[in-house]
Amino acid sequence: MSSSEQDDEPSSDRLPFESVFSTVLTGWAFDRGATEGACGPADSGAVRLIWLRNIGRDGVIAAPDPEVDEWRCDAPERFHLRAGDILLSSVISGRPKAAVVQEVDLPAVAVRSLFVLRPAQPLPVEHVRLILAFLRSDTVGALAVGNFGQQHLRLSQLKALELPKEDQALSAALADLAAAGQRLGEMAAEASTLAESVFDRSGSPEEARRLIIGAGQLTRLRSTAAAQLDDPDFIIRTRYPYPIALRWRNVEAQRSADGQDDAQAKEYAAVLKAAETLLGYSALLTTALAHEAGITCKAIRAFKGKIAATGLGGGPGFGDWQRILQQISAAEGMADLPPEHPLLELSILLGDDEAEVACRSLGTKRNSKAHGREDLPAVSASKLQEAHDGLRFLLDRARFLADLQLLDVTNVVWDRHDQSDTVTFRRLMGDHPVVPTETLRHTGSNRIAPILYLADRDHGLHPLSPFLTCEKCEQCATLSLFHADKEQGVLLQTSLDHGHYYPYRADERALRAVGLQ
């Protein structure tokens, strides 16, 4: 096959346009000057005329307005829209407009500057969402040609397009984004309505002020909460997994103690501990997910070997965590994972030179401190800032961890009638271990156990035990995350969040089952 023939083939993640849409109509070009055929919405056979102006940038077809809309009784049957049809602007200014026709929009016909795309068979909602996003993109808009702001998309160009295949993970992400935008829009509209009603409530400015302050309290609190999400520190402290969020809170606490004796040294130590916790948590997630998927690499085998060894060696450290995160991307079997699998995001955490430099710099500083090669009271401001910048860089790259929920399952009740589990759990996200208890229904093929799980964006549950366990610390009685560790050949469990450790208490058979003993 020639290279030109290969270029003409659709890519593996695309579909030929005509395999998705069996019919493409141009809008009805009726004679606007003719009064014959015009009618009212209640007349027999009346259909609403949908123009380009009736379609919003958000893909919503405006509700009928008897004062503005036109209705006709003479529209040919072949132009009548059906639920599921997709309307696309043929005259484009900026990005194209596209919308899907719903039952509530009927009866109607599209006119003039619109294409009507009729699916060959009913499309899943998720696939429609992706197709609409593609049709509204600059990729499609750039095909339009014309002069003086009138850019026209030709039918031949439209039919030559390759459309995205169905992708449930991407579609779900788009749906979440749309829902968030709609919610923010509703809050903005509520605030505007409240402001406009100030003198509808009272003739007295003083009384109006009192009423507006009271009625607007929730709106102001929403605004304050939303503004905090623009602060990266707030996001880390409240949305990241508990061990990382807690370590970051410690960094902030030490920074706020500036001016006290040895404050810089304490902040420096907190930064290095936070960096090691970030890498340790990420590497242990990687190891647990890789085990579940039947994937391994040299660094994972070395980590397991350290725990399983019978000699007087020690356990894993900063370098072990770093190597696991660096090597997993090239492990055999990674290419076979579905695109939404969380292991793929973990595999790119340290996936470029900039991340490697930041990680190596932090590792060098951590090792120097651990081996007594740093005079901590004399830590310079520049060295502290360098460590802080490296940690912030890695935390920003790890923002996906805020979407991967850490769930401590405390109880599971099986309902044999519904064939489902009622799962009681704690969501260990944010910088405090005391969180409300929640419940969910689980109907998957795998039974749920009272252990630690990672919930991905699609609400799939991935077991983390025994690589990570959650239990009350014997030393400080705080709910903590532990991993298997070694010191002088003694099997230990070490906390990621505060560093306490003691002899391993859990069932060692679980360690043996995953190669850690």
The contacts of residue 515 (CB under 8 Å, 6+ apart) are 304, 308
Q: Are residues 395 and 297 in the same domain?
A: yes
Is residue 386 in some structural domain?
yes
Residue type, 279: L
Judge whether 185 lies within some domain.
no
Residues 383 and 412 in one domain: no
So what's the pLDDT on residue 95? 83
The answer as to whether 241 is a domain residue is: no
Query: Tokens representing 494?
Result: 């070490």
Q: What is the pLDDT of residue 150?
A: 64
Look at residue 1 and tell me whether its pLDDT is greater than 50: no
18 and 166 share a domain? yes
pLDDT digits (tens, 9 = 90+) for 253-294: 988 876 666 788 889 999 999 999 999 999 999 999 999 999
Q: Scan for tokens 């505060």, then name that residue.
A: 498
Of 83 and 37, the structure prediction assigns the larger pLDDT to: 83
pLDDT at 12: 58
pLDDT digits (tens, 9 = 90+) for 287-340: 999 999 999 999 999 999 999 988 888 899 999 999 999 999 999 999 999 888
- Identify the DSSP state of 398: G
| Contact predicate 325/282, CB 8 Å | yes
Backbone angles phi, psi at 50, to 5 degrees: -105, 120
Burial profile 218-236: b = 16 or more Cβ within 10 angstroms, e = fewer: ebeeeeeeeeeeeeeeebb
The average pLDDT across 40-44 equals 90
Decide which of 382, 400, 418 is a domain's last residue.
400
**465-510: pLDDT as tens digits:** 999 999 999 999 999 999 999 998 899 999 999 999 999 988 889 9
Whether residues 28 and 104 fall in one domain: yes
pLDDT of residue 4 exceeding 50, the answer is no
The answer as to whether 229 is a domain residue is: no
Same domain flag for 281 and 393: yes
Q: How far is it, in rounded angstroms, from Cα 405 to Cα 427?
A: 7
Task: Say whether pLDDT at 129 is over 70.
Answer: yes
Other C-beta atoms lying within 10 Å of the C-beta of residue 55: 21
Asked if residue 48 and residue 164 are part of one domain, the reply reads yes
- Spatial distance between the Cα atoms of 241 and 454, rounded to a whole number of angstroms: 10
Which CATH number do you get for residue 100? 3.90.220.20
Residue with tokens 């790259």: 397
pLDDT at res. 98: 94
Residues 260 and 386 in one domain: yes
More confident residue, 363 or 340: 363
Select from 400, 422, 438 the last residue of a domain.
400
SS in 3 state form for 173-213? HHHHHHHHHHHHHHHHHHHHHHHHCHHHHCCCHHHHHHHHH
- The rounded distance, in Å, linking the Cα atoms of 407 and 464 is 10
Phi, psi of 107 (to 5 degrees): -80, 145
d(CA 294, CA 332): 9
421 phi/psi in degrees, rounded to 5 = -100, 140
Domain boundary among 400, 418, 451: 400
Whether 139 shows a pLDDT value over 50: the answer reads yes
Proportion of the chain above pLDDT 70, given as a percent: 86
As a dihedral over the C-alpha atoms of residue 269, residue 275, residue 280, residue 283, rounded to 10 degrees, the angle is: -160
* 196 falls within a domain: no
Query: What is the C-alpha to C-alpha distance for residues 327 and 333, in angstroms, rounded to an integer?
Result: 13
> Cβ neighbours of residue 166 under 8 Å, at least 6 residues apart?
124, 126, 127, 130
Q: pLDDT, tens digit, for every residue of 419-452?
A: 888 999 999 999 998 899 999 888 877 789 999 9
Planar angle of CA 157, 158, 162, nearest 5 degrees: 100
Is there a contact between 366 and 325 (Cβ–Cβ < 8 Å)? no
Q: How confident is the model at residue 208 (pLDDT cuts 50, 70, 90)?
A: low
Does a structural domain hold residue 503?
yes
Which one, of 363, 351, 370, 369, lies nearest residue 390 by Cα?
A: 363
Give yes or no: residues 449 and 380 share one domain: no
**CA–CA separation, 271 and 156 (whole Å):** 59
Question: Of 132, 95, 96, 125, whose CA–CA distance to 113 is shortest?
Answer: 96
The pLDDT of residue 260 is: 65
Tell me the two tokens of residue 352: 């470029």
271 and 389 housed in the same domain: yes
For residue 41, is the peptide bond before it cis, meaning its omega torsion is within 30 degrees of 0?
no
Higher pLDDT, 411 or 256: 411
pLDDT at position 379 over 90: no
DSSP 8-state assignment for residue 447: P
Q: Do 357 and 293 share a structural domain?
A: yes
The predicted pLDDT at position 2 comes to 41
CA distance 218 to 302: 54
In a domain? residue 161? yes
Which residue range(s) make up the domain with 53? 13-170
Average pLDDT over residues 403-428: 91
pLDDT grade for 215, boundaries at 50, 70 and 90? low
Q: Report the distance separating Cα 47 and Cα 69, nearest Å.
A: 10
| pLDDT at residue 7, rounded to an integer | 44
User: Is the residue at 237 inside a domain?
Assistant: no
Amino acid identity of residue 229, one-letter, is L
| Token pair in block for residue 318 | 């900063």
Number of domains in the chain: 3
User: In one letter, which amino acid is 232?
Assistant: P
pLDDT at 201 over 80: no
Q: How far apart are CA 58 and CA 505, in angstroms?
A: 56
Q: What is the mean pLDDT of the chain?
A: 86
Same domain, 166 and 279: no
Q: Which segment of 15-24, 61-70, 189-198, 326-335 scores lowest on mean pLDDT?
A: 189-198
Nearest to 113, CA basis, from 143, 92, 134: 92
384 and 435 in a single domain? The answer is no
What is the rounded distance in angstroms from the CA atom of residue 93 to the CA atom of residue 88? 13
- Enter the tokens of residue 375: 């005079």
Predicted confidence at residue 211, as pLDDT, reads 67
